[in-house]
Structure formats: structure tokens, C-alpha cells
Amino acid sequence: MDMKRFVGSLLVVLSALPALAWGPEGHRIIALVAYEYLTPKAVRQVDNVLGKNGMVYWSTWADEIRSDTVYPGSYDWHFQDLEAGMTDDEVASVLTDYPKQGGNLYRALDSLYLLLKNDKNNRDALRFYVHLSGDRYCPMHMGHISDKGGNTIKIKWFGTQTNLHRVWDEDLIRFRGYSVTEYAQLLLDMYGCERKAIEQASPEQLLINSYHITSAIYDYQKTWNGNVYNYVYHWKEPMERQLYTAGVRLAMILNDIYR
Ligand SMILES: [Zn+2]
């Protein structure tokens, strides 16, 4: 099946939700971590499809073309907002019973994976996959439907107006002040000891874990004193661990596809 038909089959009504999930830095950091963990054989093949280091350079493309007419249905492939208070079983079930509301991330990922399995040289499918497999670990990409994934929750960030969604897209990462290569290296150094456990976890476990983080973010919001330094200190590690996890899992899947 070609990409256009694939897109057609996923076509959904464009919504006005401004949810974007990880910003450009987040996606590049994830791609850099994953690239580090690719086997030499996978690096050769992925470079062959996307160009040298192309995985990193193209990791933000899916956001850039999000409102383009070439892939009109791709807008809500980037997130899957959920209801508050779901049980672990209910959360796990969204991986197979794709929800009808709140986004289309898991169906898109599954479809792209199958496309790549059948055609490793499908350039656009690979570009999408590299990007969306990062979005799935951004806690606010599975925020609540009622507040558009945190987009309607206003936050003052050092005097500038932002929102809970954007804090997790970009503000938290940018606050740290690292370049993307520095940040990727930091993650490899500091969280490398967790690689095995992350590889051994099931997709359901990882999804439930992300949902718990999202729930904790909402809870924290209720009692937060508005001090940005406190916020960063509290959430730095969970945020970094999600970025690192996304990199590890992306490498795992690409190593399997490009054996
Ligand atoms: Zn995205």
C-alpha cells in the first residue's frame, strides 16, 4: 500500500487542537539517543533511506508538515489524549482498541510499523515513525481530552504566558540550556544503566507508566506554588527519563526492522 492510500485510510477530520507534543529539541535528542543505539547494520540502512544522520535531521519533519495538504490526516497522529482516572487495564487497552476520540497516535504507529516491515525504504513512513515514536513518550501527548492535552491550562513561566502542554513540549527541556547533542550525551551517561530494563519492559507497561506520570503532573498542578525553579527541580528527572526511554525503544524497533 502506498503512503497516500495509507494516509487516506487514516484520514480523520482536522481538529483545531493545538497539541504538538515534544518540540524540535526533544525529537532531536530522542533521535540522537536512538542513533547511538542502532546496530552498524541498521545505521547503514537508515542512513541509506534518510541520508547521513538523517534520522536526527528529519525527526521534526512530521511536525513541520502537520498542516500540509500532502498528509492531511496526520494532524492527530501525534497524540492520544485520554480521560482522567483510567485503570491500568483501561490504559493498556488503548494500544489495541484505538480510541475514537482524542487523537490517533497508536493506530498511526502500528500502521507505519507494518508499512516499514514490508518496505524498509519507505522514506516518509520512516520519517513519521522516528517522530511519532518519540511523541508517545511525551506525558502531555496523553493528557486529558477535556483540557486538550493541557493546552488550555495556563502557566506563567518566568513572566511569559505558556500552558501545561507547552511546558512539557519545550519549556522544561529549554530551561536546562543544553544543546541537543549535549543533552543526548547526558541522557546516555546518566540513564544508560536503565537501558536493559527499558528494553525488557512491555509496551503496555511503558504506556501505563507514562499515564501515571501524566496523572502526577495534573495532581502537582493543583498544589504547585507557581515557582518555576520548583517545577523544574521536581520534573526534570521524569522528563529526562521519558526522553531516554523514547530513544531506547526507537532504536530497539529500528534494529528489528533493519536487521
Ligand atoms: Zn509531534
In tens, the pLDDT along 233-247 reads 999 999 999 999 999
CB distance 211 to 91 below 8 Å: yes
pLDDT of residue 69: 81
Tally of domains in the chain: 1
On the question of pLDDT at 2 being above 80, the answer is no
* Interval 156-167 mean pLDDT: 96
* Interval 56-74 mean pLDDT: 90
C-alpha 78 to ligand 1 mean position (Å): 5
CA distances in angstroms from 73 to 3, 105, 121, 189, 196, listed in the order given: 12, 11, 22, 38, 36
C-alpha 20 to ligand 1 mean position (Å): 5
d(CA 67, CA 65): 6
* Residues within 5 A (CB) of ion ligand 1: 21, 63, 78, 135
Other CB atoms within 10 A of residue 158 CB: 9
C-alpha 59 to ligand 1 mean position (Å): 9
On the question of pLDDT at 5 being above 90, the answer is no
Closest CA to 137 of 187, 97, 74: 187
CB distance 35 to 55 below 8 Å: yes
Residue 130 sits in a domain whose CATH number is 1.10.575.10
On the question of pLDDT at 72 being above 70, the answer is yes
Model pLDDT for residues 180-211, shown as the tens digit of each residue: 999 999 999 999 999 999 999 999 999 999 99
**For residue 212, what are the domain limits?**
3-257
Model pLDDT for residues 82-104, shown as the tens digit of each residue: 999 999 999 999 999 999 999 99
pLDDT of residue 193: 98
pLDDT of residue 21: 60
On the question of pLDDT at 18 being above 60, the answer is no
C-alpha 251 to ligand 1 mean position (Å): 18
CA angle 15, 10, 20 (to 5 degrees): 40
C-alpha 166 to ligand 1 mean position (Å): 12
Phi, psi (5° rounding) for residue 227? -80, 115
pTM value? 0.91
C-alpha 135 to ligand 1 mean position (Å): 5
